[in-house]
Chain A
Amino acid sequence: MEEVDKILIHALRQVGTEVSDDVQSVKQFTSELIVEAVVRCVRVIDPGLGGGLPASLPPGMSARFRVGMSLAQACQDLGYKGEIGYQTFLYSNEPEIRSLLMFLVEKLPRESAEASDQPAGKSVVLQRAISAAIKAQLALPWLPPNCRLPLLCETQSPGPLHAFHTQSLSLAHNVKCPEKKHFKGMPLTARIFDYQRDILPPVTAQASHHASVAASILEQHMAELSATQEWENEWNSQGLLSRLTPQDYRSRKLTRLQKRIEEQLRSAALLCPESAIGANRSNSDLSELLQSFRGTAPTDHLLTKGTHFTHTQKFTFTQETAAAASPMPSGRQSEGDVQVRQQEELATLQQQLQQLCLDVDQLTTDMKQMNVTTAQVWDELKKRELGNSEMEERMRVKKKTIDLLPDGESNLVKLQALVEGSAKRVVNLASQWEKHRAPLIDEHRRLKELCSNQDRESSRKLSEIKDLHVKIREAAEEAKKKEGLYKQLITELENLPQDVSRSAYTLRILEIVGNIKKQKEDITKILSDTKELQKEINSLTGKLDRTFAVTDELVFKDAKKDESVRKSYKYLAALHENCSQLIQTIEDTGTILREIRDLEEQIETENGNKTVANLERILEDYKAIRQENSALAAKVREG
């Protein structure tokens, strides 16, 4: 019974009843405790039913009585079959209370068990963990910053609230070394290395705030990574198609971009209202702009070497300036003469130029015609040569026939023999070929068949392998899923309250079951024993009856003749009667003993019910009620 009481007390504590640690069994429960436990259980099982019930006993006796009545009613509503009334609560007796509490605890809803049956997803577990962590943090009291333990600093200090900022960092590897200029015998890269070795602070000391170190490093890394990726993308999509080396491609791109920018600037400069004053000025503006642009533009080693663009630009600009400079000194001489002379000269030169242009045009058309005619002539020549060779062939055949003509008949015979011989040879060869061909064809067919068989086999195996792969993947997925479920269940198991040792209970239950089995066996043994005894008794009584009947008959026969025998017959009858009486008495004794035992048991249970104490309490309560009643009556009278 101790075990049952422990379980009951544990369940009642979970429901919210305050059972003190001293109370170890139901025997120690007071009336107040019983009422509280029952009310809490009823509230959990059926909130609507338990809502109107007070959790503690009131002081007044009649009120107590009413509470007991309503509690009993509630328990009966829940389906309790046993005897119950106000006396169950007010004048408790141990077995009744135990059975009532067991009924109520069994009725308690098991939502937690039902919830844990369904496998929860990872997110649910995570959310539960989050809410648990937040609950724990909220439960901690807030402390002023100076009193915080290092454990609390993590959750209570506003440390992670400040923003992250990035700064540019100087890293040794991403400073490109420009061309290796030698300066007084020392290469330029050596100076950079000196700087990096002696003065450049380590990367953790470069940022002004300690908090921005990580952010700056990550930012720098991301920038480099994305630049590299972009370049690789571009190179793979467009650069490889252009079939240039990376450097060529880059320089070409640079040129294109600069041209584009130049165009943009030029159009912007033309649109500008100031450009209406003079094209010269806009030109100079543009060149200045370009010059300044070139100064700040990326002058990495590709550019400083001098790109195509810069070369052409320089070339055109210098030409322009030269052209602008050359007319200047001539302009200082006497202007009128020079102008007239220059105009004349210009006219003649222009005429000459036109003439020359015309000549050149004519000559080019002539050349084209000539080229066409030569090609035609070459074609004709080839055709003629082909015709010639054909003619020569024909001539040779005709010459031979003419040579053979004088000895015509013999030559004809010879020719026929030759033809026949060759025909025979052809037939011969054909038969030989057939001979060779048949086995070869057979072989070919056989091999073909073999090949197709193998093909089929291999495709079959391939499909099998594919099936296997699919199965393997499915199995792996299932295994993964199961593993996840297993882990989750393990964590849940760890999280479960450990105060109730399930294994002990199960062991105990198994032991009890074993005991019951043993007892059952004993009972059946006893039953069989009694049956056997009964049988023996029956057979013995039968035997007795029969022997008695035979003896009775024999003695009765003789009794008519002999007096002594008649006496003995009388004795026999008396003996039989006495014996049956004796047996009856023994049986009666047995039944009486059994009755006595029953009565003793009843007395014991009645003693266990604390009848006397309860009777006294009932008497006291009765007196209290009477007093209350009389007080009330007095009040009524007074009122």
Chain B
Amino acid sequence: MVVLLSRLPLQECPKLCHRVVDGVCGREPPRMADYSATWSLEEWLELLNSLSSLFRLAVGNNSCDEEVLAGLSDVGSGYGEAVLSVLRARREEIRQALVERTNFISSAVLQDFDWQLKLALSSDKISSLQTPLLSLTLDVRENGALRPVTMELNREELHTLISSLEAANKVVLQLK
């Protein structure tokens, strides 16, 4: 339902489209609050979905300008032209994002990780411990849901983890 786009003044259109592309590329999508005067919530969601799927399809099918314009024929020509220019400028970025998404085809994917290094000075039994500890948080996306996995490793365990990851990387390199 890209027709809804025509409610927006033409000058605002590229900005919104760029924000939608930002959302496709994994950054912050446009906020409803900025446009609540123009569209209702339902219309907004519909517009957002249709625009992002339009961009995805256009880049994914590698379709030419005419095809995209044909898809946008029911909006005004100026709007179609604006969307097209946004698409041309961001084609490469969208393609990268789609490739990233295709890479994540396995059941569980490591999305992000975070670590903190701590120094345990003493414990309840030993007064001077001086052991470094690493608390590692893995954000694993499993069937679309984000699941944090947190573990605390000492030096040896960390070495084991790193060596096993290196072995995995070697296997991946051999596949190439």
Cβ contact within 8 Å between B176 and A170: no
List residues of chain A with CB within 8 A of the CB of B102: 296
Report the separation of the CA atoms of residues A206 and B18 in the bound assembly, to the nearest whole angstrom.
12
List residues of chain B with CB within 8 A of the CB of A130: 119, 121
- Whether B52 sits at the interface, judged by CB under 8 Å, is no
List residues of chain A with CB within 8 A of the CB of B60: 295-296
One of B18, B26, B27, B97 near A199 (C-beta < 8 A)? B18
Cβ contact within 8 Å between B89 and A192: yes
- Whether A191 sits at the interface, judged by CB under 8 Å, is yes
- In order of increasing CB-CB distance, the 4 nearest A-B pairs are A195-B89, A163-B114, A208-B28, A191-B89
Cβ contact within 8 Å between B137 and A163: yes
Residues of A within 8 A of B (CB-CB), count: 37
- Whether B34 sits at the interface, judged by CB under 8 Å, is no
Q: Nearest residue in B to A190 (C-beta to C-beta)?
A: B89
Query: A218-249 CB contact bits vs B (8 Å, 1 = yes)?
Result: 00000000000010000000000000000000
Residues A519-539 near B (CB distance < 8 A): none
Cβ contact within 8 Å between A299 and B176: no
Report the separation of the CA atoms of residues A586 and B144 in the bound assembly, to the nearest whole angstrom.
124
- Known interface pairs A163-B114, A175-B93; A208-B27 also in contact (CB < 8 Å): yes
- Whether B14 sits at the interface, judged by CB under 8 Å, is yes
Point out residues on B near A: beta carbons under 8 Å: 14-15, 18, 22, 25-28, 60-62, 85-86, 88-93, 95, 97-100, 102, 112, 114, 119, 121, 130, 137, 139, 173, 176
List residues of chain A with CB within 8 A of the CB of B119: 130
Cβ contact within 8 Å between A165 and B114: yes
| Apart from the given pairs A130-B119, A208-B28, 8 other A-B contacts in the complex at a CB distance below 8 Å | A127-B121, A127-B130, A165-B139, A191-B85, A195-B86, A199-B18, A215-B114, A230-B173
Q: Nearest residue in A to B113 (C-beta to C-beta)?
A: A166
Cβ contact within 8 Å between A195 and B92: no
Q: Nearest residue in A to B169 (C-beta to C-beta)?
A: A230
- Known interface pairs A130-B119, A191-B85, A296-B98; A168-B114 also in contact (CB < 8 Å): no
**Interface of chain B, main secondary structure:** helix
Question: What's the nearest-Cβ distance from chain A to residue B70, in Å?
Answer: 17
List residues of chain B with CB within 8 A of the CB of A300: 95
Cβ contact within 8 Å between B137 and A183: no
List residues of chain B with CB within 8 A of the CB of A384: none
Question: What's the nearest-Cβ distance from chain A to residue B20, in Å?
Answer: 12
- Whether A554 sits at the interface, judged by CB under 8 Å, is no
Question: What's the nearest-Cβ distance from chain B to residue A476, in Å?
Answer: 31
Most buried by B among A167, A194, A199, A215: A199
Question: What's the nearest-Cβ distance from chain A to residue B80, in Å?
Answer: 15
Report the separation of the CA atoms of residues A257 and B139 in the bound assembly, to the nearest whole angstrom.
30
Cβ contact within 8 Å between A168 and B25: yes
Report the separation of the CA atoms of residues A215 and B115 in the bound assembly, to the nearest whole angstrom.
11
Residues A170-202 near B (CB distance < 8 A): 170, 175-178, 183, 188, 191-192, 194-195, 199-200
Question: What's the nearest-Cβ distance from chain A to residue B148, in Å?
Answer: 9
List residues of chain B with CB within 8 A of the CB of A200: 18
- Known interface pairs A163-B137, A191-B89, A192-B89; A295-B27 also in contact (CB < 8 Å): no
Question: What's the nearest-Cβ distance from chain A to residue B135, in Å?
Answer: 10
Question: What's the nearest-Cβ distance from chain A to residue B143, in Å?
Answer: 20
Cβ contact within 8 Å between B61 and A167: no
**Interface of chain A, main secondary structure:** loop
Cβ contact within 8 Å between A131 and B112: no
- Whether A298 sits at the interface, judged by CB under 8 Å, is yes
- Known interface pairs A131-B121, A208-B28, A295-B60; A183-B88 also in contact (CB < 8 Å): yes
Report the separation of the CA atoms of residues A168 and B86 in the bound assembly, to the nearest whole angstrom.
19
List residues of chain A with CB within 8 A of the CB of B25: 168, 170
Cβ contact within 8 Å between A295 and B62: yes
Query: A564-599 CB contact bits vs B (8 Å, 1 = yes)?
Result: 000000000000000000000000000000000000
List residues of chain B with CB within 8 A of the CB of A215: 114
User: What are 22 contact pairs spanning A and B, CB under 8 A?
Assistant: A131-B121, A164-B114, A166-B112, A167-B27, A168-B100, A170-B25, A175-B93, A176-B92, A178-B92, A183-B88, A191-B88, A194-B89, A195-B18, A195-B86, A195-B89, A199-B14, A199-B18, A215-B114, A257-B176, A295-B61, A296-B99, A296-B102
- Whether A615 sits at the interface, judged by CB under 8 Å, is no
- Whether A134 sits at the interface, judged by CB under 8 Å, is yes
One of A131, A164, A175 near B92 (C-beta < 8 A)? A175
Q: Nearest residue in B to A233 (C-beta to C-beta)?
A: B173
Report the separation of the CA atoms of residues A94 and B22 in the bound assembly, to the nearest whole angstrom.
89
List residues of chain A with CB within 8 A of the CB of B27: 167-170, 206-208
List residues of chain A with CB within 8 A of the CB of B112: 165-166
Most buried by B among A207, A215, A298: A298
Cβ contact within 8 Å between A167 and B26: yes
Question: What's the nearest-Cβ distance from chain A to residue B99, in Å?
Answer: 6
Question: What's the nearest-Cβ distance from chain B to residue A27, in Å?
Answer: 45
- Known interface pairs A131-B121, A175-B92; A298-B99 also in contact (CB < 8 Å): yes
List residues of chain B with CB within 8 A of the CB of A167: 26-27
Cβ contact within 8 Å between B90 and A298: no
Q: Nearest residue in A to B102 (C-beta to C-beta)?
A: A296
Q: Nearest residue in A to B148 (C-beta to C-beta)?
A: A163
Q: Nearest residue in B to A299 (C-beta to C-beta)?
A: B62
Report the separation of the CA atoms of residues A165 and B141 in the bound assembly, to the nearest whole angstrom.
14
One of A164, A166, A195 near B90 (C-beta < 8 A)? A195
List residues of chain A with CB within 8 A of the CB of B15: 199
Question: What's the nearest-Cβ distance from chain B to residue A473, in Å?
Answer: 31
Cβ contact within 8 Å between B121 and A188: no
List residues of chain A with CB within 8 A of the CB of B22: 170
Question: What's the nearest-Cβ distance from chain B to residue A125, in Å?
Answer: 13
List residues of chain A with CB within 8 A of the CB of B61: 295
